[in-house]
Amino acid sequence: MDDPLLDKSALPYGLPDFGRIRVADYEPAIKRAMAEQLVAIDRIIADPEPPSFANTLIPLELSGTRLERALAIFSNASAADTNDEIDALEQELAPQLAAHDDAILLNRALHQRLLAVAQQEEDLDVEDSYLLERYLTWFRLAGAGLSEQDQAALKRINGRISSLSSAFKIALQADSNDLALLIDDPAELDGLSAGERSAAAAAAERRGHPGKYLISLVLPTAHPYLDTLRNPDVRARLAAAQQARGARGNEHDTRATLLELLKLRAQRATLLGFENHAALRISDSTAKTPEAVREMLSGLASAAAANARREQARLEQVAGGPVSAADWPYYAEQVRLADHDLDLSALRPYFQADRVLHDGVFFAANRLFGLNFTERPDLNGYHPDVRVFEVSEEDGAPVGLYLLDLYTRESKRGGAWMSDLSPSLLGDTAIVVNNLNVPKPAQGEATLLTFDQTRTLFHEFGHALHGLLGKARYPSLAGTSVFRDFVEFPSQNYEIWMLWPEVLANYAPELDPAVVERLNAAQAFNQGYGTSEYLAAALLDLAWHSLGPEQVPTEVSEIAAFEAAALSAVGLDNPAVPPRYHTSYFSHIFSTGYAAAYYAYLWAEVLDADTERWFKDNGGLTRANGDAYRANVIGFGGTREPLAVYRAWRGRAAPIEPLLERRGLASAGT
Q: Count the Cβ atoms, other than its own, within 10 Å of residue 43.
A: 12
Q: Quick check: 556 pLDDT over 80?
A: yes
Q: Quick check: 205 pLDDT over 90?
A: yes
Rounded Cα distance, 112 and 140, in Å: 11
Averaged pLDDT, 33-51: 97
Cβ 271 vs Cβ 147: under 8 Å:
no
Q: What is the pLDDT of residue 424?
A: 67
Averaged pLDDT, 418-422: 93
317 Cβ contact list (under 8 Å, min separation 6): none
Predicted confidence band of residue 496 (pLDDT cuts 50, 70, 90): very high
Q: Which of 465, 196, 506, 456 is nearest to 355 (CA)?
A: 506
Task: Report the alpha-carbon angle 458-461-466, nearest 5.
Answer: 135
- pLDDT tens-place string over residues 633-670: 999 999 999 999 999 999 999 999 999 999 999 765 44
Angle, to 10 degrees, between the axis of helix 600-617 and the axis of helix 642-650?
30
Q: What is the pLDDT of residue 429?
A: 87
Cβ 51 vs Cβ 85: under 8 Å:
no
- pLDDT tens-place string over residues 67-89: 999 999 999 999 999 999 999 99
Averaged pLDDT, 529-542: 98
From the number of C-beta atoms within 10 Å of its C-beta (0-12, 13-18, 19+), residue 341 rates as exposed
Predicted confidence band of residue 426 (pLDDT cuts 50, 70, 90): low
242 Cβ contact list (under 8 Å, min separation 6): 217, 218, 221, 222, 223
Q: What is the pLDDT of residue 145?
A: 95
Q: What is the pLDDT of residue 667?
A: 65
Averaged pLDDT, 570-592: 97
**Letter string b/e over residues 234-254, b meaning 16 or more CB atoms within 10 A of that residue's CB:** bbbbbbebbbbbbbeeeebbb
Q: Quick check: 342 pLDDT over 70?
A: yes
Q: Which of 309, 176, 250 is nearest to 591 (CA)?
A: 176
Cβ 437 vs Cβ 408: under 8 Å:
yes
- φ/ψ of residue 444, rounded to 5: 95, -15
Q: Quick check: 1 pLDDT over 70?
A: no
Q: Quick check: 624 pLDDT over 90?
A: yes
- pLDDT tens-place string over residues 114-139: 999 999 878 999 999 999 999 999 99
Averaged pLDDT, 379-387: 98
Rounded Cα distance, 53 and 140, in Å: 18
Cβ 69 vs Cβ 42: under 8 Å:
no
Q: Quick check: 428 pLDDT over 80?
A: no
Angstrom CA distances, 319 to 175, 323, 329, 334, stand at: 33, 7, 12, 9
Rounded Cα distance, 266 and 244, in Å: 27
Q: How far is Cα of residue 636 from the mean position of the Cα atoms in its chain? A: 20
pLDDT, the chain, mean: 96
Q: Quick check: 177 pLDDT over 90?
A: yes
- pLDDT tens-place string over residues 221-261: 999 999 999 999 999 999 999 999 999 999 999 999 999 99
Q: What is the pLDDT of residue 668?
A: 52
Averaged pLDDT, 442-457: 95
Q: Quick check: 366 pLDDT over 70?
A: yes
Q: How far is Cα of residue 231 from the mean position of the Cα atoms in its chain? A: 32
Q: Which of 513, 405, 414 is nearest to 464 (CA)?
A: 405
Neighbouring-strand partners of residue 207 = none
Rounded Cα distance, 402 and 390, in Å: 6
Q: What is the pLDDT of residue 132?
A: 97
Rounded Cα distance, 183 and 472, in Å: 51
Predicted confidence band of residue 218 (pLDDT cuts 50, 70, 90): very high
Averaged pLDDT, 482-508: 97
From the number of C-beta atoms within 10 Å of its C-beta (0-12, 13-18, 19+), residue 40 rates as middle
Averaged pLDDT, 170-179: 97
DSSP 540-589: HHHHHHT--GGGS-SSGGGHHHHHHHHHHHTT---TTS--SS-GGG-HHH
Rounded Cα distance, 468 and 361, in Å: 15
Q: Count the Cβ atoms, other than its own, within 10 Å of residue 565.
A: 11
Q: What percent of the chain has pLDDT over 70?
A: 99
Domain residue spans of the chain: 12-145, 181-234
Counting other chains too, the contacts that 99-105 makes at CB distance below 8 Å and 24 or more residues apart are 99/155, 99/158, 99/159, 100/34, 100/37, 100/38, 101/142, 101/158, 102/142, 102/151, 102/154, 102/155, 102/158, 103/38, 103/41, 104/37, 104/38, 104/41, 105/138, 105/139, 105/142, 105/143, 105/144
Rounded Cα distance, 431 and 15, in Å: 7
* Catalytic residue list: 460
Task: Report the alpha-carbon angle 442-447-452, nearest 5.
Answer: 130
Q: State in words which class domain 12-145 has.
A: mainly alpha
